[in-house]
Chains A and B, each alone.
Chain A
């Protein structure tokens, strides 16, 4: 496509400006993190002696090893369970079309519009009543449930488009429903399951509200929840707060760099289908 020269450069300049708007905040907290702990530097100043030690200090103060272990535990509990049960439900609703599947689908879709804040209060009291409040399970169970509307909807969208000849052929060969699911359709559903896995991992890692309400001990929370607590303690020590924030961002940024194509695709498709 031919585009006038002036327009080409104007367009590129606009893009560069927006990229700067996106990146500068990261550079600013990085530079701030290198200033002596407890000082208040400017927003974009390279320090005279970079204090790399701040990262070590923040690492210890935020109890990073515990926080990482906790986050990984929560992600590894939430994501596989979400994938398994939503794939099963999506299969039954989208492919088996069991009686009542329209009602079921509608009841799940209804959940898509519910903001977490709308139902957090009863979840708090329910969890106190069944004795899981202030444990990691208190985050894991409601998160799995809160992902159900999206996850079931997403998997159903895959199964509803599978050709029915495939299932009919398997049935003629005497396959049970379980065979049909496990041997034929799960292997074919790898791509949407992988995208769903990426999405729910990111959402879980970044979950804040549930952590804040349901778990008092920061080391039992996810990374984002731990960061919230860290901010509460070190709000006045800007370099240390910035160092802690960077440490907590690093895992996300590394994963994003490695899987950027898949992550962007998953998030975009997730929005379009949802």
Chain B
């Protein structure tokens, strides 16, 4: 602007155009310095993220044990991932985990957050939020170890079941083919529920209270209020919760590694676990890479629609 005014005796439009097509030395220098600012971040990101990303795709087309020569096999590794039951099963298990890691924490989180919002706004609510949030800050490995013990045969869960007269269904939960996956899922609920509650409640606090007041004047019940006001206005926050928890489910590793390591059999094996086992114990680098590529594609396919639906409504 300043330059324009100083040179107003010349034709300003022409000046602007010429300035755009060939930037002055000063502007070019500034841009150069600006690029220098991004270089450290860009270098680290390129070297340790983008290059490995491309290499994963490259490896996925070869048969390779990590030391010997690499043999080109085309899409054979991908065919194996889709056909071998142990491998394609990991993808089904990952979707099962989504129910436990996402649907339940987000659904239950919505209900609990609206309860906190309605009945516990004071000190009790603050304490409840802090306590419920606690599992989110501890290492997932620690959560896994704690629950590994709780779900063991002499552990707390079975003790409680016996105490309430359900002694017949006690078992070593993590060693049971049918119950291992839901048991691991419970650990996910424990870790993620508090996070969802706090995030959703923060969103609820932003909703105009007069909306609730007028609803209550009309005699709306908790449930009517919940469906008509809370859920629609919280779309964005719900989307965020779903995104975070779905990624946690599809890319689960730590909790499962320390509780079951994928067992018994392959009943709790998810892509993250199988990638590790294939690559670092069975030395099937190509196959592991193909599964890794499919995991990355899967995450994008699931996340994009969630982002899409919630971005739009946030406007």
Binding site for B on A (CB under 8 A): 1-3, 7-8, 11-12, 14-15, 18-19, 21-26, 28-29, 32, 40-44, 84-86, 88-89, 91-93, 96, 98-100, 104, 107-108, 111, 113-126, 141-142, 144-146, 148-149, 151-152, 172, 176-178, 181, 202, 205-206, 208-209, 212-213, 223-225, 227-228, 231, 238, 241-242, 245, 248-249, 252-253, 256, 260, 263-264, 267-268, 271-272, 274
User: Contacts A208-B140, A242-B149 known; A111 to B37 CB distance under 8 Å?
Assistant: no
User: Contacts A11-B118, A271-B199 known; A145 to B66 CB distance under 8 Å?
Assistant: no
> Are A1 and B38 within 8 A (Cβ)?
no
Cβ of B52 under 8 Å from chain A: yes
> Are B49 and A7 within 8 A (Cβ)?
no
Q: With A and B bound together, what is the CA distance between A260 and B35 in angstroms?
A: 37
> Are A148 and B41 within 8 A (Cβ)?
yes
Smallest CB gap from A172: residue in B: B2
Q: With A and B bound together, what is the CA distance between A99 and B227 in angstroms?
A: 46
Contact residue among B38, B138, B289 (Cβ-Cβ distance under 8 Å from A206): B138
Cβ of B177 under 8 Å from chain A: no
Contact residue among A41, A117, A124 (Cβ-Cβ distance under 8 Å from B271): A117
> Are A256 and B137 within 8 A (Cβ)?
yes
> Are A2 and B303 within 8 A (Cβ)?
no
- Chain B residues with CB under 8 A of A238: 149, 152
Q: With A and B bound together, what is the CA distance between A241 and B135 in angstroms?
A: 19
Smallest CB gap from B111: residue in A: A14
| 24 A/B residue pairs, CB under 8 Å, sorted by A | A12-B119, A18-B112, A18-B193, A19-B131, A19-B132, A23-B134, A24-B156, A28-B146, A43-B155, A85-B40, A86-B41, A96-B30, A113-B300, A118-B296, A120-B279, A122-B59, A124-B279, A145-B49, A208-B139, A213-B280, A245-B146, A248-B139, A264-B130, A268-B199
Q: With A and B bound together, what is the CA distance between A55 and B87 in angstroms?
A: 41
Contact residue among B142, B257, B272, B300 (Cβ-Cβ distance under 8 Å from A245): B142
> Are A126 and B140 within 8 A (Cβ)?
no
Q: Would you list which residues of chain B between 1 and 23 have a CB under 8 Å from chain A?
A: 2
Q: With A and B bound together, what is the CA distance between A65 and B90 in angstroms?
A: 39
> Are B49 and A264 within 8 A (Cβ)?
no
Q: With A and B bound together, what is the CA distance between A209 and B45 in angstroms?
A: 19
Instruction: Say how far A92's CB is from chain B's closest CB, in angstroms.
Output: 4
- Chain B residues with CB under 8 A of A242: 149
User: Contacts A114-B296, A241-B149 known; A231 to B42 CB distance under 8 Å?
Assistant: no
Q: With A and B bound together, what is the CA distance between A260 and B133 in angstroms?
A: 9
Instruction: Say how far B229's CB is from chain A's closest CB, in angstroms.
Output: 13
* B side interface size, CB within 8 A: 100
Q: With A and B bound together, what is the CA distance between A124 and B236 in angstroms?
A: 38
Contact residue among A93, A115, A122, A253 (Cβ-Cβ distance under 8 Å from B296): A115
Interface of B is mostly: helix
Interface of A is mostly: helix
- Chain B residues with CB under 8 A of A118: 53, 56, 292-293, 295-296
Contact residue among A15, A111, A141 (Cβ-Cβ distance under 8 Å from B120): A15
Cβ of B253 under 8 Å from chain A: yes
User: Contacts A25-B146, A32-B149 known; A264 to B48 CB distance under 8 Å?
Assistant: no
How many CB-defined contacts (below 8 Å) exist between A and B?
Answer: 290
> Are B195 and A267 within 8 A (Cβ)?
yes
B74-82, B95-103, B244-252 - interface stretch: B244-252
> Are B38 and A98 within 8 A (Cβ)?
yes
Q: With A and B bound together, what is the CA distance between A263 and B194 in angstroms?
A: 13
User: Contacts A11-B115, A12-B119, A22-B194 known; A42 to B139 CB distance under 8 Å?
Assistant: no
> Are B279 and A145 within 8 A (Cβ)?
no
Q: With A and B bound together, what is the CA distance between A26 and B285 in angstroms?
A: 39
> Are B292 and A121 within 8 A (Cβ)?
yes
Smallest CB gap from B278: residue in A: A121
> Are A25 and B120 within 8 A (Cβ)?
no
> Are A26 and B56 within 8 A (Cβ)?
no
> Are A42 and B159 within 8 A (Cβ)?
yes
Q: With A and B bound together, what is the CA distance between A264 and B155 in angstroms?
A: 31
Smallest CB gap from B151: residue in A: A43
Q: With A and B bound together, what is the CA distance between A171 and B30 in angstroms?
A: 11
Contact residue among A18, A113, A172, A260 (Cβ-Cβ distance under 8 Å from B299): A113
> Are A115 and B272 within 8 A (Cβ)?
yes
> Are A43 and B159 within 8 A (Cβ)?
yes
Instruction: Say how far A61's CB is from chain B's closest CB, in angstroms.
Output: 15
- Chain A residues with CB under 8 A of B247: 113, 115
User: Contacts A1-B213, A141-B44 known; A8 to B119 CB distance under 8 Å?
Assistant: yes
Q: Would you list which residues of chain B between 112 and 171 have a CB under 8 Å from chain A?
A: 112, 115-116, 118-121, 124, 128-142, 145-147, 149-150, 152, 154-160
Smallest CB gap from A21: residue in B: B190
Q: With A and B bound together, what is the CA distance between A11 and B38 in angstroms?
A: 50
Instruction: Say how far A249's CB is from chain B's closest CB, in angstroms.
Output: 6
Contact residue among B41, B47, B135, B289 (Cβ-Cβ distance under 8 Å from A22): B135
User: Contacts A113-B303, A245-B145, A260-B130 known; A28 to B193 CB distance under 8 Å?
Assistant: no
- Chain A residues with CB under 8 A of B33: 176-178
Cβ of B212 under 8 Å from chain A: yes
User: Contacts A25-B147, A227-B145 known; A104 to B202 CB distance under 8 Å?
Assistant: no
Contact residue among A42, A113, A121, A223 (Cβ-Cβ distance under 8 Å from B275): A121
